[in-house]
């Protein structure tokens, strides 16, 4: 079901957390609310499910205005960060609880629980207590409980934050599989850009209560609207070069080196401060636009190696290369930047 | 092999010597109820059950049967427990979770009342009970005892509710349950150890209560065991100390049994009431 948030404002006491935010989430879409902690992403989620009242604005599910509808009547399934399973009930009772509240018949409940337990692969765990389950299993139970009454919308609040690295990978694809299988509209709140990029159709990147950019993962990665977005997405992260506009080019701070700017950008006035963002994969030995420096850090990641190169003026560029490269710490290198992949940002941080 | 930093036996010896008087007292409290040992002698002379005759003989004129008194004591302790626990779980939840006016005032008031020496109120309570006609009735004592114990109960239950994660309630609401269902079906089971501990605690406290029944329901059919015991020793022309001891043991038995059964739950409260 389509979700529309219109001019949403939320404040707690005197602090306004979210001001005049609008967002549209399409039917069957999985959208990530991504941002650093305190950016208002969880507040937005809790407003959608009705735990927080909106101070101003409207919320529509499909064409129905649900701004004033209580949580119980919104038909939204939520998976909480700590799963919030009911510790005194076993898995079966946990999943059946939403149906029990609605006083459905015993046979009907049983059929539905078995069906959803099969979907999330916990059929053999139904008699266990939450305490006797691993993190990943608890996660599946929480998903099953959220999905059992066929909600219009599924909300996931940092669902993978409490899992270890390997399970996180597994549950990432599991949640996406289940979301696609049920065709439900889903909103995922996360601070982890990898989760957001790998699981969702679109990402809304938030900062300080505003949506900074709303776009598909690929587009957001390749065309960030500001240096904040560019810095938030990508692992290993993008490296920034400080400098200023000079003679139609970009002069590095504290240096005589001038680099050409990517084609087709609006240059700011002469001498205005600028930043260049260079992603590690676009700083490689065989690219033409050479800069020289010294390898100051080497990190082996298995399949790849990550190098930090400190330039003469002290700025650091990152490069990620295949294992065979074998550069050593302290080595003087002269590697190249892919000129058309440089992301140039103006004095206000916005993309040029 | 168990290794320790110090030898254990000197400690045991010291503890034995220190607790010997206590143990002796308890042993002879029991021994004296079934023998006719003369005062000052440590050797029991013969076995007799005549000091327990109050259990089966008809009471002397002007006295109430021990069974009526025992029943009274149970009614008193159980009613106090029920009223106290039901008020504590609702009030504790409200103070812990509901966004209500004057919350800080209520919390402060409860703490103050908890620390207040309630015995100073006894005269005014006496007057009030007389005025509304509840003097010398069990209901009157139950109400007063409950009211005086309530601040403690509310405070303890609030502590237990504070430890229930918010997400459980949010999840319940999201699952479509009403606020009441959430409280009843999801939150109360989480604080069950607290409820059990509080119930046992209040029961024991009411069971051993003496001053309130003594002042507010001293005579007749509203007597409880503690006042019965005290009447036994004060009223008699020739006091029967061994019978007094027997009634004392009889009075203490339920406490011992309850304590043995529920000591783990009681630890929850004495341990600070923080573990839910």
Question: B222 near B136, Cβ under 8 Å?
Answer: yes
Q: Do B174 and A88 touch (CB under 8 A)?
A: no
Inside any domain, residue A283: yes
Which residue among A51, A88, A145 sits closest to B170, beta carbon to beta carbon?
Answer: A51
- Could you report the per-residue pLDDT of B66-114, keeping only the tens digit for each? 888 999 999 999 999 999 999 999 999 999 998 888 999 999 999 888 8
Phi-psi region of A198 (alpha: psi -120 to 50; beta: other; left: phi over 0): alpha
Is the pLDDT reported for residue B43 higher than 80? Answer: no
Residues of chain B in Cβ contact (below 8 Å) with chain A: 165, 167-168, 170-178, 181, 186, 189-190, 192
The residue range of the domain holding A23 is 3-231
**Residue A247 CA: distances (Å) to CA of A251, A260, A270, A352:** 9, 10, 7, 17
Helix-then-strand count for chain A, H and E = 8, 20
Q: CA of A38, closest CA in chain B: separation in Å?
A: 19
Residues A243 and A311 reside in one and the same domain = yes
User: Where does the pLDDT of residue A1 fall: very low under 50, low under 70, confident under 90, or very high at 90 and above?
Assistant: confident
Identify whether A262 is part of a domain: yes
Identify residues of A whose CB sits under 8 angstroms from chain B CBs: 49-51, 71-73, 76-78, 80-84, 86-88, 97-98, 101-102, 145-146, 149
A71 and B171 in contact by Cβ < 8 A?
no
Distance from CA of B168 to the nearest CA of A (A): 5
Task: Return the percent helix, strand and coil in chain B, to nearest 5.
Answer: 75, 0, 25
> What gap in Å lies between CA A256 and CA A251, rounded to an integer?
7
How far off is chain A from B167, nearest CA to CA, in Å? Answer: 5
Q: Looking at the partner chain, which of B174, B175, B190 has a beta carbon nearest the beta carbon of A88?
A: B190
Q: In this structure, what are the phi and psi dihedrals at residue A193, rounded to the nearest 5 degrees?
A: -65, -30
| Helix, strand and coil percent figures for chain A, each rounded to 5 | 30, 35, 35
| CATH assignment at residue A325 | 2.40.50.140
Which residue does chain B place closest to A82, by CA atoms?
Answer: B167
Using alpha carbons, select from A21, A50, A8 the residue that is nearest to residue A152: A50
Both A206 and A244 in one domain: the answer is no
In a shared domain, residues A37 and A157: yes
Mutate to test the interface with B, among A43, A71, A81 (most CBs of B within 10 A): A71
In a domain, A201, yes or no: yes
At B270, the pLDDT band (50, 70, 90 cuts) reads low
Least CA distance to A80: which residue of chain B? B167
Q: Look at B53 and A133; give whichever has higher pLDDT.
A: A133
Q: Is A76 helix (H, G, I), strand (E, B) or coil?
A: strand
CA closest to B192 among chain A residues: A88
Quickly tell me which residue has 């050409």 as its tokens: A260
Do both A111 and A219 map to the same domain? yes
Q: Is residue A351 part of a domain?
A: no
| CA of A48 vs chain B CAs: smallest distance (Å) | 11
pLDDT at A186 over 70: yes
Please name the member of B165, B176, B190 whose beta carbon is closest to the beta carbon of A72.
B176
> B170 φ, ψ to 5°?
-60, -45
3-class state of residue A188 by DSSP: strand
Q: Which of B172, B177, B189 sits opposite A88 (nearest CB)?
A: B189
**A288/A328 same-domain check:** yes
Say yes or no: A245 and A184 in one domain: no
Q: Which residues of B touch A159 (CB under 8 A)?
A: none
In tens, the pLDDT along A69-95 reads 998 989 999 999 889 999 999 999 999
Residues A250 and A159 in one domain: no
Q: List Cβ neighbours of A67 (8 Å cut-off, separation of 6 or more).
A: A54, A57, A58, A59
Q: Are residues A198 and A55 in the same domain?
A: yes
Asked if B167 and A82 come within 8 Å (Cβ–Cβ), the reply is yes
Q: Is residue A320 part of a domain?
A: yes
Number of domains making up chain A: 2
Q: Say if the Cβ atoms of B176 and A77 lie within 8 Å.
A: no
Rg (CA), chain B: 24
Check CB contact under 8 Å for A101 and B176: yes
In chain B, residues with a C-beta closer than 8 Å to the C-beta of A72 are 173-174, 176-178
Residues A92 and A60 in one domain: yes
Final residue before a domain boundary, out of A214, A231, A248: A231
Q: CA of A149, closest CA in chain B: separation in Å?
A: 9
Q: Which residue, A231, A246, A269, sits at the end of a domain?
A: A231
Give the A:B interface size as CB pairs under 8 Å: 56
Contacts A80 to B, Cβ<8 Å: 167, 170-171
pLDDT tier at B276, thresholds 50, 70, 90: very low
> Are residue A211 and residue A283 in the same domain, yes or no?
no
Q: A113 and A202 in one domain? A: yes
| Mean pLDDT of all residues in B187-209 | 92
Range A12-24 average pLDDT: 91
Higher-confidence position of B196 and B241: B196
Average of per-residue pLDDT values in chain A: 90
Q: What is the pLDDT of residue B1?
A: 47
For residue A352, tell me if it sits in a domain.
Answer: no
Describe the crossing of helices B103-115 and B66-97 by its angle, rounded to 10 degrees. 150
Which SS3 state, helix, strand or coil, does residue A111 take? Answer: helix
Q: Indicate whether A330 pLDDT > 50.
A: yes
Residue A350 in domain? no
Mutate to test the interface with B, among A83, A97, A112, A129 (most CBs of B within 10 A): A97
A225 shares its domain with A241: no
Question: Nearest-CA distance from A19 to chain B in Å?
Answer: 24
Which of the listed residues A191, A210, A231 is the one where a domain comes to its end? A231
Cα separation, A182 vs A180, in Å, equals 5
* Whole-number pLDDT of residue B61: 66
Task: Report the CATH number that the domain containing residue A11 is assigned in CATH.
Answer: 3.40.50.300
Helix (H) or strand (E) segment spanning residue A202 = strand A202-207
A99: distance to nearest CA of chain B, Å?
Answer: 8
Res. A222 pLDDT band, cuts 50 70 90:
very high
- Give the ipTM: 0.80
Q: Which of B181, B158, B159 is nearest to B169 (CA)?
A: B181
Is the pLDDT reported for residue B237 higher than 70?
A: no
Task: Please report the pLDDT score of residue B274 as a whole number.
Answer: 44
Residues of A in contact with B165 (CB under 8 A): 82, 84
A84–B190 CB contact, under 8 Å: no
């Amino acid at each position: 079901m389509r979700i529309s948030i219109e001019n949403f404002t939320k404040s707690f006491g005197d602090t306004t957390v979210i001001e005049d935010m609008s967002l549209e989430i399409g039917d069957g879409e999985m959208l990530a609310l991504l941002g650093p902690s305190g950016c208002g992403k969880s507040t937005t989620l809790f407003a959608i499910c009705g735990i927080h009242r909106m101070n101003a604005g409207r919320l529509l599910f499909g064409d129905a205005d649900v701004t004033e509808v209580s949580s119980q009547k919104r038909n939204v399934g939520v998976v909480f960060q700590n799963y919030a399973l009911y510790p005194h009930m076993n898995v079966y009772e946990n999943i059946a609880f939403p149906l029990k509240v609605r006083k459905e018949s015993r046979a009907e409940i049983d059929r539905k629980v078995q069906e959803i337990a099969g979907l999330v692969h916990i059929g053999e765990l139904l008699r266990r207590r939450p305490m006797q389950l691993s993190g990943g299993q608890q996660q599946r139970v929480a998903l099953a409980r959220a999905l059992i009454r066929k909600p219009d919308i599924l909300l996931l609040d940092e669902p993978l934050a409490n899992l270890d690295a390997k399970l996180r990978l597994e549950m990432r694809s599991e949640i996406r599989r289940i979301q696609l299988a049920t065709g439900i509209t889903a909103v995922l709140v996360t601070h982890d850009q990898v989760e957001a990029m790998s699981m969702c159709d679109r990402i809304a990147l938030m900062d300080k209560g505003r949506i900074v950019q709303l776009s598909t993962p690929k587009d957001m990665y390749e065309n960030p609207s500001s240096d904040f977005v560019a810095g938030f997405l990508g692992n290993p992260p993008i490296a920034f070069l400080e400098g200023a506009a000079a003679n139609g080019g970009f002069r590095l701070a504290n240096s005589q080196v001038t680099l050409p700017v990517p084609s087709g950008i609006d240059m700011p006035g002469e001498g205005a401060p600028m930043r260049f963002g260079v992603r590690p994969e676009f700083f490689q030995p065989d690219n033409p636009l050479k800069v020289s420096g010294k390898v100051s850090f080497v990190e082996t990641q298995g399949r790849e190696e990550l190098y930090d190169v400190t330039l003469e003026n002290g700025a650091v560029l990152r490069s990620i290369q295949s294992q065979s490269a074998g550069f050593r710490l302290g080595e003087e290198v002269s590697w190249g930047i892919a000129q058309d992949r440089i992301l140039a940002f103006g004095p206000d941080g916005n993309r040029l | 092999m168990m290794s320790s930093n110090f030898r254990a036996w000197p400690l045991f010896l010291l503890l034995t010597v220190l607790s010997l008087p206590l143990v002796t007292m308890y042993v002879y409290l029991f021994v004296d109820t079934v023998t006719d040992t003369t005062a000052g002698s440590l050797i029991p002379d013969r076995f007799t059950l005549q000091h327990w005759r109050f259990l089966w003989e008809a009471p002397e004129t002007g006295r109430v049967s021990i069974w009526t008194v025992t029943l009274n004591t149970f009614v008193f302790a159980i009613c106090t427990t029920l009223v106290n626990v039901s008020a504590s779980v609702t009030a504790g939840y409200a103070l812990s979770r509901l966004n209500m006016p004057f919350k800080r005032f209520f919390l402060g008031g409860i703490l103050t009342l908890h620390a207040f020496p309630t015995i100073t109120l006894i005269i005014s309570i006496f007057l009030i009970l007389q005025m509304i006609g509840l003097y010398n009735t069990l209901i009157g004592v139950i109400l007063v005892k409950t009211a005086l114990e309530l601040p403690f109960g509310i405070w303890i239950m609030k502590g237990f509710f504070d430890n229930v994660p918010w997400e459980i309630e949010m999840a319940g609401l999201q699952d479509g349950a009403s606020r009441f269902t959430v409280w009843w079906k999801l939150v109360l089971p989480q604080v069950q150890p607290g409820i059990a501990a509080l119930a046992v605690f209040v029961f024991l406290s009411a069971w051993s209560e003496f001053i309130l029944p003594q002042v507010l329901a001293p005579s007749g059919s509203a007597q409880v065991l503690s006042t019965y015991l005290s009447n036994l020793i004060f009223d008699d022309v020739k006091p029967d100390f061994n019978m007094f001891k027997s009634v004392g043991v009889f009075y203490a038995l339920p406490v011992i049994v309850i304590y043995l059964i529920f000591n783990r739950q009681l630890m929850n409260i004495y341990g600070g009431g923080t573990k839910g």
